[in-house]
């Protein structure tokens, strides 16, 4: 979770809100201690999750499925070292 000093938060508020809108949680600190968290609204998180699922489904419709044995083989190959 990104952290920002309370003294810097006001000047960086637009960037902080952009990060929260993207789904990040941002902690505000004072003297090195976390004093607050900015979190996305639950409805906004659900909306982002729904869009992500739709994007994955669309991707799957545009591409041929990869057989499971090919995925497992590729995973094992990546573990060799």
- Domain ranges in the chain? 1-40, 41-81
> What percent of the chain stands above pLDDT 90?
41
Let me know if domain 1-40 sits in CATH 3.40.47.10: no
What is the pTM (predicted TM-score) of this model? 0.53
Whether 71 shows a pLDDT value over 80: the answer reads no
Q: Tell me what pLDDT residue 49 has.
A: 79
The residue ranking higher by pLDDT, 70 or 31, is 31
CB distance 25 to 39 below 8 Å: yes
Closest CA to 1 of 19, 24, 17, 22: 24
CA distance 13 to 25: 13
């Amino acid at each position: 979770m990104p952290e920002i000093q309370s003294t810097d938060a006001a000047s960086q508020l637009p960037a902080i809100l952009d990060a929260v809108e993207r789904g990040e949680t941002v902690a505000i600190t004072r003297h090195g201690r976390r004093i607050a968290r900015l979190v996305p609204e639950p409805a906004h998180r659900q909306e982002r999750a729904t869009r992500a699922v739709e994007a994955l489904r669309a991707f799957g419709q545009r591409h041929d499925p990869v057989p499971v044995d090919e995925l497992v083989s590729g995973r094992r190959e990546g573990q060799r070292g």
